Amino acid sequence: MRRAGSWVFVSLLFCGVGAGSGSPSAAEDASSDSLAETPITWSATLASRYSFQGLDYSEGRPVLQPQVSGSLRGLTLTAWGNLDQTRRELNEIDLSLQRDWSLKQLSVTLGYAHFRYPRHRDWDPTHEVLAELTVEAPLEPSLSVHWDVAAGLGRYWALGVNHVIPWQHGSMALATRLYIHDHYYELTGIPALETSLSANATWAGISVQPTLSRLWTWPNGDFRGDQAVRGGWVVSLLCSSR
């Protein structure tokens, strides 16, 4: 589920941009239909803390995380930021470019992300490549793998399941995610297991999603002693254009 600074990207990581079957006019019509659906989307999340892979990145302080995305010919460009509500500052900006595919019940995402930390963090800018898989099944099993090829020089994984329960005004979802680090910033182990309950409804054309999450932690791998991760509750409210 991160980072204003440099807005320069490396080259596209995947092929097939603008490619398709059929005549040029059919491809143009498909592109026009895609643009007509959701060319630009936005969201904003207000959370009790910035939780990433089970780690607390805001020292228990509330954060606001705006995001805007634009799609064209199967590619999605996203800008995401983290605003510390206590210090009133923007301290992280993420830029990502990704491509999605659907293969029957399997959804695949490949992408690239660049991270910068403008204020009050001595972290170096970094970037990563990513792959995400989701299966359309009753429990929606998913796997995401992110490989930091710069400052972090390692990988982090997330294994999850998600069960959606429709209701009269929207839906509710029960989800579980296991977070794994593989030499990511020289740390290997399981930082946390997250369980969450969320609801989704539409109000005045805006999607509203409150979520209550619990992070479960235990000593393992490099996450022990001074590197031990504290569990706890995270409350968030997501508002989006869809």
Q: For residue range 19-35, list pLDDT tens digits in order.
A: 333 333 443 444 444 33
Mean predicted confidence (pLDDT) in 86-104:
94
* pLDDT of res. 120: 65
Rounded distance between C-alpha atoms, residue 207 and residue 80, angstroms: 18
Is residue 147 situated within a structural domain?
yes
CATH of the domain at 69: 2.40.160.40
Mean predicted confidence (pLDDT) in 182-208:
96
Q: For residue range 148-185, list pLDDT tens digits in order.
A: 999 999 999 999 999 999 988 899 999 999 999 999 99
Is residue 65 situated within a structural domain?
yes
Percent residues over pLDDT 90 in the chain: 74
pTM (two decimals): 0.82
Residue 89 domain boundaries: 24-240
Is residue 73 situated within a structural domain?
yes
Is residue 199 situated within a structural domain?
yes
